[in-house]
Chains A and B, each alone.
Chain A
Amino acid sequence: MTNETTTTTYRSQVTAQPESFRHLVHAEWTKFRTVRGWVIAMVVAIAAVTAFVFIGTAVGRSCVSSGGGSGSGSGPGGGTPSACPAQPTGPGGEPVQDAFYFAHQPVTGNGTISVQMTSLTGMVSTGPIEMTPALQPWFTAGIIVKENTSQGSAYVAMMVTASHGVRMQWDYVGDAPGMTGSVSESSPRWLRLVRDGGTVTGYDSADGTHWTQVGTATLPGLTSTVQAGLFAAAPSNGNGTTATGVFGHVGLSWPATGWTGTDIGGLGGNGVSLPGALAQNAGTITVTGSGAIGPLAGDGVLSIQTALVGTFTGLLPLIVVGAMFVTGEYRRGLIRLSLAAAPRRGRLLAAKAVVIGAVGFVSGLIAAALAVAIGSRRLGETGVPVWPVSALTEARIVVGTAAMLAVAGVLALAIGTILRRSASAITAVIVLIFIPYLLAVHLQGPDGGDGGGTGGGREELLRVTPAAGFSVQQAIPQFSQVIATFTPRGGYYPLAPWTGFAVECAWAAAALALAYYLLRRRDA
């Protein structure tokens, strides 16, 4: 360099790496980790979510039952007053209700059972000893092939129901619709089950000639000898209901050995609430029974989702940090320095989104993994039935929780960029995601609102607001064929897991788009 002339052009002596988006991400990460309050906030978030495990899993020590009309908690069970009757579990390990009246006979090998049904009636108790004729929607009777008469054993059934037409159901969670409409003398329903090894196929027919296949179920490891026969069950919200089916043209391809009537599960406890009956009369068989067959789902059934009940407490610090990650810069004028360093503004917003998203995701992943690990151990110790989830579902719940928190952080960042002020941005995000979640899930009316599980309209919040993202945590499917209360409070969301997450993502994407537009357009 010469120094006798003052107009020699200066050239930068430092060597910078070529410009790269990676550098902006590195810069934003450095910004994040060098504000101690933000790092502490995320540690608090992780701790809060994890701590809630102990609250969430402390509820499970009393006997739970679904509203399925069977086993509603008063049974003497195992001797001590606080002990619960042993909970049957189905072939998939899930807790089930398995109580009904079964007119059965042992059959061996492949074969077919066919019947004609001409009537389904019911009785509902209206006083201590009074019964009144009445049908409730899921009152049912039909034919069933069941491995044995113990609760929880594998089965396939074809049945008529009071309001849901012909159904094929198997292994407690399987359900497929057949003919619609109700059964009567003038409109009979023909039902057929065909066993072929481990596969059972169901058919229905209006005339006994033209058969329609309803579905095929595979029962792994089904024993050669099983029980086949007729059944009746009366699922309802209360006790003391019975259903009665009238069967004709009963045909078995196996050698007939005569019917035995059994109340599956016995009387009381997890069994039936009223004893069933079998009457044979000139080619017709009448079967009356109470109880229900199906998964024990609905509110109050525990699953690993219970361990994540505190996720919303982690959401709050994340929202605050996500918003302040940008509003803090506006407050101090630091945004000008950031934009001077990254004048193509979309890149700055993207770098911030990447960092806050990663912070939310990693914090969420740690919190969810900790909560699930601790939670499953504690749930195992409670002795109450816990809905089993596959490793894949568990991974979806943990990773989904992390992703849901990550997107919430990005949403807060985008709204912070739009509003530029911490207080209003944080308020807006809380109103958008935190309040709807609380209203729909934790602040519902007593016992989760109405029994129908609609949450009195508040459930809508979990469809349309970013709080829909919480859907990724749902562990137990909502079974439409089970009479139980399914509410968000109990962990049942109106949208499917990834659909709900997509709603949250749509919000974040829309907010980011608006933030980008405003950031580019406005003076800094």
Chain B
Amino acid sequence: MNATTEIEIEIDGLRKRFGSTQALDGMTFTVRPGPVTGFVGPNGAGKSTAMRVVVGLDAPDAGTATIGGRPYRSLTNPLTHVGSLLDAGALQPSRKARNHLLWLAHSQGLDAGRVDEVIALAGLKSAARRRAGGYSLGMRQRLGIAAALLGDPPVLIFDEPFNGMDPEGIVWMKDLLRALAAQGRTVLVSSHLMSELEDTAGHLVVVGRGRVIADTSVADFIAAASGSRIRLRTTAPADAMSVLGNAGAEVTATGPDVLSVAGLTAEKTISVLTGHAVPFSEVTAHRATLEEAYMELTRESVEYRAEVAS
């Protein structure tokens, strides 16, 4: 609240073992204010465990997690420093949603007026006086967001906030995350589906098997993963392969009448095809999606888990 420097989440060398599972295996990264930081990895990669360690719920076997240089347990009125949504189902079902926020506000020395503000912010105004047990998962996520925002904290930690949300809710959530980050907050959002973070996160921390696989900006991440390929649809695939191969391209068939072309720009591909009168109906510059880049990167850890499971 009175920090004069950037408030960062610093995770340094976290190790934690649950029985025979090494949930965290030397995980190290820093989350800075500004862009939304996506925290991605397959299920079981250690995302939730790391987040629980950050907010002081789980004790690591080794390593430290600090917020603005301080361990969570040393924060006074911690919800005014860090807001977290770790489990949208963490509710007493018979308690009304507004009362759920009310006790939380009281615990931090906040008044009921702030409760009504976050209810409006989360779009729950009409449902606030209903029992939280009757909420859909999407509404529970909104209630969890409202709880995280109660203390208007500079640091926000959300674990799988898109789970159970309808398309409209997902759009709302993405806008909200971007807006919160744009205010200069430090925002860490986990997901096991990269697509959810596609146009939200500016920075990515990709984890697998309890350690960081990649810690990079989204732009660099995609650039590293996608070679430039062109997708070509033609009724004469044999001719196309021949002429493009002569022009120096590497061409592979990816389906009936569909070719994938590497080594040529789209403009060059079109001019070569038209120059040899090869018919085509589509030429598309193929940019690797975040999802594809992510799948490529995490394949190893997913395969490892499949082996262990079998």
Contacts and interface: CB of A to CB of B under 8 A. Distances in A.
Interface of A: 1, 3, 5-14, 16-20, 23-24, 26-28, 30-31, 34-37, 328-329, 332-334, 336-344, 523-524
B104 interface: yes
Contacts of B107: 23-24, 26-27, 338, 341-342
Given A34-B99, A35-B95, 7 more contacts: A10-B33, A10-B185, A19-B77, A26-B107, A333-B89, A334-B92, A336-B52
B80 A20 contact: no
A34 B95 contact: yes
B87 interface: yes
Interface in B87-135: 87, 89-96, 99-100, 102-104, 106-110, 114
A340 B55 contact: yes
A34 B115 CA distance: 15
Contacts of B87: 333, 336-337
10 contacts: A9-B6, A9-B7, A10-B183, A34-B102, A37-B94, A332-B89, A332-B93, A340-B86, A343-B73, A524-B58
Contacts of A334: 90-92
Given A3-B182, A11-B3, A14-B152, A27 B106 contact: yes
B154 interface: yes
B109 A20 contact: yes
A28 B107 CA distance: 8
Given A12-B1, A340-B79, A1 B183 contact: yes
Given A27-B107, A35-B92, A328-B92, A7 B80 contact: no
B181 interface: yes
Contact of A23 (B56, B73, B75, B109): B109
Contacts of A14: 80, 110, 114, 150-152
Interface string B154-198: 100000000000000000000000000111111000000000000
Given A19-B76, A333-B87, A36 B94 contact: yes
Contacts of A27: 103-104, 106-107
Interface of B: 1-7, 32-35, 52, 55-59, 72-73, 75-82, 84, 86-87, 89-96, 99-100, 102-104, 106-110, 114, 147, 150-154, 181-186, 202
B99 A16 contact: no
Contacts of B110: 14, 16-17
Contact of B57 (A5, A12, A31, A523): A523
Contacts of B59: 523
A317 to B, nearest CB: 16
Contacts of A328: 92
Contacts of A11: 1-3, 154
B147 A35 contact: no
A6 B184 contact: yes
**Residue of B57, B87, B102 most packed against chain A (CB within 10 A):** B57
A85 B283 CA distance: 116
**Residue of B59, B87, B90, B182 most packed against chain A (CB within 10 A):** B90
For the complex of A and B, list the 9 residue pairs with the smallest distance between their C-beta atoms, beginning with the closest. Answer: A17-B109, A27-B107, A6-B34, A34-B99, A30-B103, A8-B184, A10-B184, A19-B76, A333-B90
A13 B52 CA distance: 26
A6 B33 CA distance: 7
A356 to B, nearest CB: 15
A1 B95 contact: no
Contact of A6 (B104, B114, B182): B182
A343 B78 contact: yes
A332 B109 contact: no
A352 to B, nearest CB: 12
Contacts of B76: 18-19
Contacts of A341: 78-79, 104, 107-108
Nearest to B86: A336
B279 to A, nearest CB: 48
B96 A34 contact: yes
B91 A332 contact: yes
Contacts of B108: 16, 23, 341
Given A34-B96, A333-B90, A337-B104, A7 B32 contact: yes
B129 to A, nearest CB: 11
B94 A9 contact: no
Contacts of B153: 12
Contacts of A37: 94
Given A12-B1, A12-B152, A14-B152, A340 B56 contact: yes
A12 B114 CA distance: 12
A344 B55 CA distance: 12
B92 A343 contact: no
A193 B258 CA distance: 126
Contacts of A6: 33-35, 181-182, 184, 202
A37 B131 CA distance: 13
Contacts of B104: 27, 337, 341
A114 B81 CA distance: 87
Nearest to B7: A9
A30 B106 contact: yes
A16 B103 contact: no
Given A9-B3, A16-B151, A332-B90, A344 B73 contact: yes
Contacts of B77: 16, 18-19
A354 to B, nearest CB: 14
Contacts of B151: 12, 14, 16
Nearest to B59: A523
A35 B4 CA distance: 42
Contacts of B33: 6-10
A235 to B, nearest CB: 60
A11 B75 CA distance: 15
Contacts of B6: 7, 9
A523 B58 contact: yes
Contacts of A338: 107
B4 to A, nearest CB: 8
